[in-house]
Amino acid sequence: MELLRLEGLSKRYIGTQALDRVDLSVGTGEVLCLAGANGSGKSTLMKCVVGAETPDSGRIIWQGQSFSKLTPAQSRQLGIDIIYQDLSIFPEQTVAENVAFHAVQSGRRGWINWSEVDRIATEALDKIGAKLPLHTRLGDLPIGARQTTAIARALTGDCRLLVMDEPTTALPSRDVAHLLDMVRRLKADGISIIFISHKLEELFDIADRFVILRDGCKVAEHAPSELTSKRLSFLMTGVEFDSSKASQDLPKAAPTILSVESLSREKQYEDVSFSLKAGETIGFAGLTGAGRTEIALSLYGLNPPDSGTVTVAGNALNARSPLDAIRAGIALVSEDRQTQGLFPRKPIKENISAASYQARSGAFGIIPPTVEREIGDEWVRRVRVKTPSSDEPVQTLSGGNQQKVVLAKCLATNPKILIMDNPTVGIDVGSKAEIHEIVRDLARQGRGIIMISDDLEELVMSCHRVFVMEAGKLVAEFSGDDLTTSALSARLRSEG
């Protein structure tokens, strides 16, 4: 049975046609996956559905009732809710209050009964089979718990259609499986889901139907059985991608540029040893919390180890701060680019040159005025950032291009060793392929690359060797013909 139908929805922003006569329909209890590159109009379309944006033209038909636009309150009353990518939660408040917030605010009585709040929260969490400490400040809980809270909140009303905008992007891998379980559970309860994600693997896992957007237009609609992930990538971008393995042409005589000997840090990782050659790319697979990010941060001087040695190009390195690491030639592309890698409101050129001022400054630490532009323009060209000028603020770029800026900032310091923590999270397939190409180029230039990723295909494509980490230890190493996504996923699954 049809629940929601969109007819000819259009939306124009200054300069761009964000949506161009998009038609779409969602049935009761259906999981509709909305796929498309960054900027293809997925988010705008969903904002029109939940009333956060007003379409210029077109109709929104909900159970036969026709609207030209909706307000947020109206759409919630109809039974439409959305889990925003930023989750839209209240970090200072407790779990219970977050879950019951809509119920409390829309209640006819102006006053609150706190045991009622707890009851509403427990009931909503039960619906998705989740258990959370009700009276803990939500900001103190990990991201997975925050997302569960946001989902539970959407279920406190009479929710019939739930929109999930990139719900798995910021989620550790083990929480993703849990989230997909929740989605299946909701579907079984007759709730319809519109699911937006860049992770094709999980889309195929849960989709009943795919709708693909490109540049604001609907380009295709398919059942999952009619698609392969290669075909889906093509529909989203209009480009064919080469997903072959990294070149295995590592010179035999390549010097070792990094060696790590029995590195340990209490409660994080234990007795970790590995080495990295010039021109080599090594990968780390494992669950979040297995110690991968922790080691990366230790090498970068942010999370000093308790014991063990790190040797960079023959010299012992005892990095107590990022500056030590940068001086030794180590650069880090951190997982969360918004808070840890970028100055979103600053121009691209300032972002790119931010880490290399010190090396380029003249007498008395004065930076020549042209340096910023030189560095900025050079790297915009080299990593192919799509922008009219390096004067544009970074926040105007798409996620993929923002990540290229982060990469450029690190590369401008001319590092010998580049550590990348989930470098393509939340980035569409097109930009992802470009970043992989850049990484391969860097390796060919003789740099050593350490890549931490939850995307096994990415690891297999980019790395010469991949370590599996589990509970703070390196438990397996794959290379050559043994290095396949199926081998990695089998090893990861065996952890349980």
Interface residue list for another protein (CB under 8 A): 52, 72-73, 76, 84, 86, 88-93, 97, 101-102, 104-107, 109-112, 133, 136-137, 140-144, 172, 174-175, 267-270, 287-291, 293-294, 297, 302-303, 339-340, 470-478, 482, 487
Instruction: Provide the Cα torsion 33, 460, 296, 145; round to 10°.
Output: 30
* Measured distance CA(377)–CA(34) in Å, rounded: 35
Q: How far is the CB of 283 from another protein (least distance, A)?
A: 14
Q: DSSP strand E in 120-249: where?
A: 161-165, 192-196, 209-214, 217-222
Nearest-approach distance from CB 249 to another protein, in angstroms:
22
Residue 57 or 88: which CB sits closer to another protein? 88
Residue 403: CB minimum distance to another protein, A: 19
| Least distance (Å) between residue 50 CB and another protein | 9
CB of 445 to another protein, least distance (A): 29
| Residue 175: CB minimum distance to another protein, A | 7
C-beta of residue 167 within 8 angstroms of C-beta of residue 128: no
Q: How far is the CB of 130 from another protein (least distance, A)?
A: 14
In the complex, least distance from residue 469 CB atom to another protein, rounded to whole angstroms: 11
Rounded to the nearest 10 degrees, the angle between the axes of helix 399-411 and helix 429-444 is 20
Beta strands in 197-291 (DSSP E): 209-214, 217-222, 256-265, 269-277, 281-286
For residue 150, the minimal CB distance to another protein (Å) is 9
Q: Tell me the C-alpha distance between 466 and 169, whole Å.
A: 22
Nearest to 189 by CA among 132, 148, 129, 147: 129
Sheet containing 57-62: give its strands across. 16-27, 2-13, 57-62, 65-67
Please give the Cα distance from 406 to 408 (Å, whole number). Answer: 5
Name the residue nearer to another protein (CB basis): 19 or 287.
Answer: 287
Q: Would you say 81 or 428 has its CB closer to another protein?
A: 81
**Coil vs helix vs strand at 218:** strand
Nearer to another protein, 340 or 361 (CB): 340
Assess contact for 82 and 46: CB atoms under 8 A: yes
> Which of 175, 458 has the CB closer to another protein?
175
Identify which of residues 122 and 229 has a Cβ nearer to another protein in the complex: 122
- Which whole-number Å values give the CA distances from 218 to 33, 110, 201, in the listed order? 13, 44, 21
**How many beta carbons lie within 10 A of that of residue 325, not counting itself?**
25
Query: Is the Cβ of residue 229 or residue 303 nearer to another protein in the bound state?
Result: 303
Q: How many CB atoms lie within 10 A of CB 174?
A: 15
Handedness of CA 335, 337, 338, 339 (dihedral sign): positive
DSSP state string for 284-295? EEE-TTSSHHHH
Residue whose CB is less far from another protein, 141 or 371: 141
In the complex, the smallest distance separating the C-beta of residue 90 from another protein, rounded to whole angstroms, is: 4
Q: How many CB atoms lie within 10 A of CB 455?
A: 22
Burial of 37 (0-12, 13-18, 19+ CB in 10 A): buried
Residue closer to another protein by CB (options 190, 304) is 304
DSSP 339: I
13 three-state secondary structure: strand
Q: Between residues 163 and 200, which has the closer beta carbon with respect to another protein?
A: 163
Amino acid at 480: G
| Shortest reach from residue 303's CB to another protein, in Å | 7
Nearer of residues 155 and 236 to another protein, judged by Cβ: 155
